[in-house]
């Protein structure tokens, strides 16, 4: 009997939907610590990933044929080994577009309206308004990464009266961007944007992309927002840019390293807002990931391949 592992605790109605979609399969659900190690070598399909059991999943006798990730990014997986074994890989691209876009907007508003300063003063019992809070209306947002998250963010930004610029990797976006270009357009975006938002996946090309040189190309009044991946930013360069006023401030949902060590200088910067990698979280994620997985599962069982969201190993996303 083929085995499917779904590495989340699901309520019984959702478990029943899994069983109905894959009759004749042995299905196990639960957290990575709930499931016994011996199940991993026998699994043909796994939704999620367990670093502790990677040796079992990649064993020469393992039956693994398809991995689906509840996340959009796949940089934490052993991509080269999975490709060599011919394992199909899919992600949950699209599921997180709304919460990530809303979190990005929240970071932008916190910095513009100085809400972060008010929260810090609240803890000190200080009634101390900030100086010259900004409005987003009329400002320019530059979105580096114009996939589903970038397009949703651009849609919201336009509704707020912002000018939207975008840098894309493959396909030029058709909606919600006033201007967009490929990576050659990045320099223009940096020079003209009041908010520069990174939503790129982590690849060899994006690793360390945002460094001192790029921060110097931004307006000194501009803010940098990272909801992509921490290692796409050279952290020491960002710290220096925030300290010396090269840029006005930053909002980070991801960092490098992550989690951030207690003694890291990012904690103490007054022009920085931090959230602990929660941008993609929402009360709707569990069911939306399952819906996407079930759609692919039914197609996989019929055709032996995936219907959508298949990751290209050569692109790393």
**Which residue of the set 32, 85, 155, 277 is catalytic?**
277
**Which residue of the set 16, 258, 284, 291 is catalytic?**
258
Cross-strand bridge partners of residue 180: 166
- Taking alpha carbons only, the member of 182, 219, 228 closest to residue 201 is 228
Active site residue 229: yes
**SS3 for 39?**
helix
Report the distance separating Cα 301 and Cα 305, nearest Å: 8
Active site residue 176: no
- Taking alpha carbons only, the member of 94, 91, 108 closest to residue 143 is 108
**Which residue of the set 28, 96, 229, 234 is catalytic?**
229
Instruction: Give Cα separations from 194 to 99, 174, 242 (angstroms).
Output: 22, 22, 15
Active site residue 102: no
Report the distance separating Cα 120 and Cα 116, nearest Å: 6
Alpha-helix runs per DSSP H in the chain: 12-21, 38-42, 54-57, 79-84, 97-112, 115-123, 148-159, 186-192, 212-217, 235-244, 285-303
Q: How many CB atoms lie within 10 A of CB 132?
A: 5
- Is the distance from CB of 176 to CB of 204 less than 8 angstroms? no
With both helix axes pointing from N to C terminus, report the angle between 115-123 and 97-112 in degrees, rounded to the nearest 10.
70
Enumerate the active-site residues.
229, 258, 277
């Amino acid at each position: 009997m083929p085995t499917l592992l779904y590495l989340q605790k699901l309520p019984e109605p959702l478990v029943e939907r899994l069983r109905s979609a894959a009759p004749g399969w042995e299905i196990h659900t639960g957290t990575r610590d709930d499931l016994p190690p011996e199940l991993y070598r026998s699994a043909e399909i796994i939704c999620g990933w367990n670093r502790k059991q990677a040796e079992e999943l990649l064993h020469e006798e393992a039956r693994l044929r398809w991995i689906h990730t509840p996340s959009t990014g796949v940089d934490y997986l052993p991509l080269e080994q999975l490709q060599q074994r011919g394992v199909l890989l899919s992600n949950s691209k699209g599921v997180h577009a709304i919460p990530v876009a809303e979190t990005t907007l929240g970071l932008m508003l916190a910095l513009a309206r100085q809400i972060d300063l008010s929260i810090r003063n609240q803890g000190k019992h200080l009634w101390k308004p900030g100086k010259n809070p900004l409005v987003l209306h009329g400002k320019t947002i530059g979105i580096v990464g114009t996939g589903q998250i970038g397009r949703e963010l651009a849609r919201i930004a336009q509704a707020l009266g912002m000018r939207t610029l975008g840098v894309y990797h493959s396909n030029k976006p058709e909606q919600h961007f006033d201007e967009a270009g490929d990576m050659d357009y990045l320099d223009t975006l940096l020079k003209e944007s009041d908010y520069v938002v990174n939503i790129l996946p982590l690849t060899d090309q994006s690793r360390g992309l945002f460094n001192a040189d790029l921060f110097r190309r931004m307006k000194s009044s501009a803010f940098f927002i990272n909801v992509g991946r921490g290692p796409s930013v050279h952290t020491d360069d960002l710290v220096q840019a925030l300290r010396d006023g090269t840029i006005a401030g930053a909002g980070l949902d991801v960092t490098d390293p992550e989690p951030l060590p207690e003694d890291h200088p990012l904690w103490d910067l007054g022009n920085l807002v931090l959230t602990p990698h929660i941008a993609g979280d929402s009360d709707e994620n569990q069911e939306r990931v399952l819906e996407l997985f079930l759609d692919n599962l039914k197609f996989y069982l019929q055709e032996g391949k995936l219907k959508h969201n298949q990751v290209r190993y050569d692109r790393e996303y």
